Amino acid sequence: MTRLKVHHMAEGGTPQATIAAKCGISVRTVERVLAEPEPTREEVAENSRQGAKRPGRPAVTSDALIERIRTLLGEENIAATEVLRRARGWGFTGSRSTMAALVKELRPTPRKEAIIRFEGFPGEYAQFDFGEANVTYADGHKDKLVFWAARLKYSRMMHVIVVPDQRAETLARCLLASLAFFGGSTKEWVFDNPKTVRISPIGVEPPVLHAYLRDLVAEYRTIPTLCTPGKGQQKGSVERLVKYVKYSFFFARKFQNRADAVEQLVGWLHVVNHERPSDATGVIPAVALEEEKPWLAERPVRVTADQWPIRETMTVTPMGTISFAGTPYFATATRIGAPATLFVRCNEIEILVGDERVSHRRKDGVGVLQMLPSQTETLLGAVHGRRKQATVRREALLRVGKPAWAWMTALVHRHPDGRWERPCNDLYELLREHGDDAMRTAFERCILRCGYTVDDVAAALREVA
């Protein structure tokens, strides 16, 4: 339409600069259009039907190139930029916008496929996913609750728990908790594609599973199935389960606090699992579960979620330690540089170095060395020299806590001869005799009294006793 308008305005004597301003094009474009034959009204109508929006000369593309692009788009669902890159090698010299318009015209219209609904056999499928719900408590405080949702495909039995995060370890332990709740494992596990499940790029086949999940898949002889991104219908009931839990429980009820939400969730799950028939099957899930139990029993859960050990391999540092989740743990005093195997449980870390085995209470993110009293004695026997042994005893005292740090700092600066080795040796013997708790209380009392001698600590310990 603009090309015809340019010719009509020029015939009426309108200057080219005015034509360019009124038509929203450049003067150079006006000159080029006027150098071409005036388009007929049939050509203008045809361009309008094809959706031509840009003024100027239409792109010149050979029929062979158009057919080649049409064939390419029929075989692959690729972006216009990739078509442009390939077309450059075929002789296409047009612009990126020209190719975008051409691809839009030639791309085949996607056909909508019917959604095929399938039902699982007893013990065949279990589906798992994380969800999030933003709730407001009765006092106005807002909170984001992260929850784990699991459902058996056949019976519709579901398991939902509130969790602290969506990390890989949380996923693995929640998975085991759900299997124990159901009474065993199904043949196939269905997941989405988060990095806690799949560590390889999406599209790379076969997928590489996260090490934690890979161990469980091998242990329970199951088939992991990962849903295609953008294909929500593939996740079936688990996607609907996450939405159902949100809108039927978290968004439908009022909670006093997080503990109240957890307590109400237990009662709500009992109703939907044991009292209310499933909308999909018309059968109470707990009743339908009876048909699944024989098959689930073929893959029993032999360890609790808290006791299941994550296996990690590390090397013992020159300080005889290994680190996990931001906390160093003392492993051995005699096998520096040796490989160590960690068995990480929910509340315990077991370290195996050769034939040496030690268990620590797990404390993530503490950043303070965790060392057992017996290990301190072993380390004292492995190091030589008065200064080194005094340092080992000093570090053992500092692990008592902040009161020990404050008291020892004052001791170092206030001791008459500036030496701390002998007081540390004496204090270490008091620690062995009375334990961490009593020493912590004694240090606190000495700080209040400004007493910074071994005798002051001993007197405070007698008071504690």
pLDDT in tens, 75-130: 877 888 888 888 888 888 888 888 888 888 888 876 665 545 556 799 999 999 99
- For 139, phi then psi, to 5°, come to -85, 5
Q: Nearest CA to 295 among 137, 152, 105?
A: 152
CATH number of residue 262's parent domain: 3.30.420.10
In sequence order, the 6+-apart residues with CB closer than 8 A to the CB of 259 are: none
* Coil, helix or strand at residue 157: coil
Question: Residue 118 domain-assigned?
Answer: no
**What pLDDT sits at residue 117?**
54
The answer to whether residues 97 and 131 belong to one domain is no
| pLDDT surpassing 50 at residue 55 | no
CB 242 within 8 A of CB 142: no
Does 129 map to a domain?
Answer: yes
Sheet of 158-163, strands arranged across: 158-163, 142-152, 125-136, 188-191, 223-226
Per-residue pLDDT reduced to its tens digit, 149-161: 999 999 999 999 9
CA 108 to CA 111: how far, in whole Å? 9
Boundary of a domain, candidates 296, 328, 344: 296
Q: Is 99 part of a structural domain of the chain?
A: yes
Whether residues 167 and 272 fall in one domain:
yes
Work out the average pLDDT over 446-463: 90
What is the spatial distance between Cα 84 and Cα 297, in angstroms, rounded to a whole number?
A: 57
For residue 289, what are its two tokens? 């579960």
Residue 195 banded pLDDT, cuts 50, 70, 90: confident
- Facing residues of 226 across strands? 191
Q: Is residue 119 part of a domain?
A: no
Q: For residue 377, tell me if it sits in a domain.
A: no
Same domain, 251 and 211: yes
What's the pLDDT at 273? Answer: 95
Domain boundary pick from 106, 141, 171:
106
Looking at the fold, whether 131 and 263 belong to one and the same domain comes out as: yes
Closest by Cα among 405, 404, 392 to 440: 404
Which residues lie below 8 Å from residue 429, measured CB to CB, with a gap of 6+? none
Q: What span, in angstroms and rounded, lies between the C-alpha atoms of 437 and 450?
A: 20
pLDDT exceeds 80 at position 363 = yes
Same-domain check for residues 244 and 281: yes
Question: What pLDDT score does 310 carry?
Answer: 93
Let me know the angle formed at the C-alpha of 363 by 162 and 312, rounded to the nearest 5 degrees. 90
**Can you give the C-alpha Rg of the chain in angstroms?**
36
Percent over 70 (pLDDT), the chain: 89
Ranges of H-type helices in 107-182: 168-182
Q: What is the pLDDT of residues 283-328, one digit of tens each?
A: 999 999 999 999 999 999 999 999 999 999 999 988 888 999 999 9
Q: Which residue has the higher pLDDT, 268 or 371?
A: 268
Residues 98-124, buried b or exposed e (16+ Cβ, 10 A)? Answer: bbebbbeebbeeeeeeeeeeeebebbb
Secondary structure of residue 16 in the 3-state scheme: helix
Residue 305 in domain: no
CB-based contacts of 203, cutoff 8 Å, min separation 6: none
Work out how many domains the chain is built from and give that number.
4
Mean pLDDT across the stretch 181-197? 91
Pair 405, 452 in one domain: yes
Instruction: Give the confidence band of 239 by pLDDT, cuts at 50, 70, 90.
Output: low
**Which has more confidence, 221 or 241?**
221
Q: 123-141: per-residue pLDDT in tens?
A: 999 999 999 999 999 999 9
Torsion angle in degrees (nearest 10) through CA of 291, 292, 298, 302: -130
- The answer to whether 242 and 149 are in contact (CB under 8 A) is yes
Residue 120 lies in a domain: no
What CA–CA distance (Å, rounded) separates 238 from 188?
A: 14
Range of the domain at 438: 383-464
- The pair of three-digit structure tokens given for residue 124, joined into one six-digit string: 């065949």
Query: What's 370's DSSP letter?
Result: B
Please state, rounded to an integer, the average pLDDT across all residues of the chain: 85
Kindly state whether residues 94 and 198 are assigned to the same domain.
no
Domain-located, residue 211:
yes
131, 219: one domain: yes
* Distance separating alpha carbons of residues 110 and 315, to the nearest angstrom: 55
Q: Using alpha carbons only, what angle is made at residue 308 by residues 305 and 312, rounded to the nearest 5 degrees?
A: 135
pLDDT of residue 166: 94
Query: Are 345 and 419 found together in one domain?
Result: no
Indicate whether 319 and 173 sit together in one domain.
no
Closest CA to 236 of 115, 83, 94, 355: 115
